[in-house]
Amino acid sequence: MKKLIPAVFPIVGYDDLKEPWINIGTAFFINKDGIFVTAAHTFKKDLNGQERTYYAIIDYKKVPITQIFREREDMENQIPPIHKDLYIGRLVLGCENLFFNLDTTDISEGTNLLTEGFARKNYVERAADDQPLMSIDDLYDDSSEEAYAASEDDLIVDNKGELLIPEIQTAELTEEERDLSRINYSKLNGKYNSAGLEKIFEFSPDGMFTNGFRFNYPLFDGEPKGYSGGPISVDGNLIGMLISKDGGISAAHIVERLKENNLSFILVSS
């Protein structure tokens, strides 16, 4: 069977010592040529204001990232109507990758959404409405040993959940690959709320951002560390990119930036 790279993958950052990896974000391909999208705030500086080195993680391997486009402002400096938090990059891969088609049609309130992302542990949804969260799953950065505990499930799946790469026994991994195998993939179901973003965080400027939308994922009581930059989809088509616990950048805005940079994509209608 021809090997295909999953449409969704993690990005990790390293400080000067290059070990261990520090933070994590999620990215996804939008065409067959290794072009991907993520949140620009995935690429943070360290506490001393120094640049980190970032890699995509494909098959437990670090893949260099080439920047194509970046628009980014700190939350307090965002000015409506465009919320700037988008990064477009390229990976050079030795095999084909899956990717998302983009859908810019209007969405009605209550539409079922799916988001996918990577964190140190799996996110788990509520067992029932009257029960607490089964796991808060790395909603905030945690440097404890528990946060780095290895997953029992090292399977790699595509954006539809189909197994693409056989499980690799931990004993067969190098030390670095074993460390990277602790990054876990999971999915969450949610609901579309409304078009437009208003005051994403309490210190954001007032005003409506027209290049985003609101949604509701019951699990996200705090900011979803690791999920930022991940795809938000309806029926397998991309409608946006996650930037906060209840806000996303719209596919329409992503399409505009892809066109400006002469990048190919497939646009579909629901």
DSSP string covering 37-83, please?
Answer: EE-GGGS---TTSPPPEEEEEETTEEEE-EEEEEEE--GGG--TT--
Cα–Cα–Cα angle for 40, 245, 144, nearest 5°?
85
Q: Could you tell me the CA-to-CA distances from 131 to 112, 126, 127, 134, 190 in Å, in that order?
A: 22, 7, 6, 8, 17
Q: Is residue 170 part of a domain?
A: yes
What sign for the dihedral angle of Cα 148, 152, 154, 155?
negative
Instruction: Decide: residue 171, CB within 10 A, 0-12 exposed, 13-18 middle, 19+ buried.
Output: exposed
Q: Cis omega (within 30 of 0) on the bond before 81?
A: yes
Phi/psi for 56 (5° steps) reads: -80, 145
Number of domains in the chain: 1
Q: Is residue 176 part of a domain?
A: yes
**Which CATH number covers residue 188?**
2.40.10.120
Q: For residue 1, how many other CB atoms are within 10 A of its CB?
A: 4
Q: Is residue 270 part of a domain?
A: no
Strand 4-5 with 96-97, pairing: parallel
Q: Which domain holds residue 229?
A: 4-264
Cα–Cα–Cα angle for 135, 140, 144, nearest 5°?
85
Measured distance CA(98)–CA(116) in Å, rounded: 14
List 209's β-bridge partners, or say none.
Answer: 197
Cα–Cα–Cα angle for 5, 7, 9, nearest 5°?
85
Q: Is residue 232 part of a domain?
A: yes
Q: Is residue 184 part of a domain?
A: yes
C-alpha Rg value of the chain to the nearest Å:
18
Q: Please give the model's pTM, rounded to 2 decimal places.
A: 0.81
Q: Return per-residue pLDDT of the chain as tens, 270 residues.
A: 677 899 999 999 887 665 667 668 999 999 999 999 999 999 987 777 778 889 999 988 899 999 999 999 988 889 999 999 999 999 999 899 999 999 999 999 999 999 999 986 555 544 344 433 333 233 323 333 333 232 323 333 333 333 333 344 555 778 777 778 778 888 889 999 999 998 777 777 788 999 999 999 876 666 777 899 999 999 999 999 999 889 999 999 999 999 999 999 999 975
Q: Which residues contact 17 (CB under 8 A, 6 or more apart)?
A: none
Q: Is residue 269 part of a domain?
A: no
